[in-house]
Chain A
């Protein structure tokens, strides 16, 4: 398994601003994922981030709103841009050590509130 940390753990932000969430893993992993969990709902995949390539976004999510960086095999960032109250969610990072690993390991999440 992998140990994953996220920063910040929570934040309260003003409408129109941007927040960058960091995800750090204690070992090198091939695949990293970003999910959104809106209040009382399930997890929705935002994008897949592999080192050395552009992130792959799911339907309904765009790079201008959720730019992602993946500079190396242990780190990724997700930025939530031009925030509105509808962006209030928990944002979770997860990892899979290799492409063939079927288990994902999740970070503790970042709880974002947009006023």
Chain B
């Protein structure tokens, strides 16, 4: 079946540091890949997505590249801010999966001054 594996958190960084949150997946075919973000006390928001190999999703300074050869979709940001503190979820939607999403366990990011 489908699965998503994320690096465990919490990840604690200083403001302006570089961020990488690793995400790898297992799925048949060519899934669509997503990063969702959950700010404290709020619901999930779509951060970015990529629908085919070598696509790069980007939003709010965050980027992730769909790597078919390594089955990965790592999230990166060059300079984090305190306001980026949240839980980040990697997810996939497999082809023929009835639009169902499979989520990773989430990675909590804490950014300090």
Q: Which residues of A contact B (CB under 8 A)?
A: 31, 33, 41-43, 45, 48, 56, 92, 94, 96, 99, 101-109
- Can you pick out 29 interface pairs between chain A and chain B where the beta carbons lie within 8 Å of each other? A31-B99, A41-B105, A42-B89, A42-B105, A42-B106, A43-B44, A43-B89, A43-B101, A43-B103, A45-B100, A48-B98, A48-B100, A56-B98, A92-B44, A94-B101, A99-B99, A101-B99, A102-B93, A103-B34, A103-B49, A104-B99, A105-B46, A106-B36, A106-B43, A106-B44, A106-B45, A107-B43, A108-B42, A109-B43
Q: Specify which of A43, A45, A56, A108 lies most central, judged by the most chain B CB atoms within 10 Å of its CB.
A: A43
Rounded to whole angstroms, the CA-CA distance of A99 and B105 in the bound complex is 25
- Residue in chain B with minimal CB distance to A58: B100
Q: Kindly identify which residue among A92, A99, A102, A106 contacts B51, using a CB–CB cutoff of 8 Å.
A: A102
Closest to B108 in A: A40
Contact with A along B29-59 (1 / 0, CB 8 A): 0001010100000111110010100000000
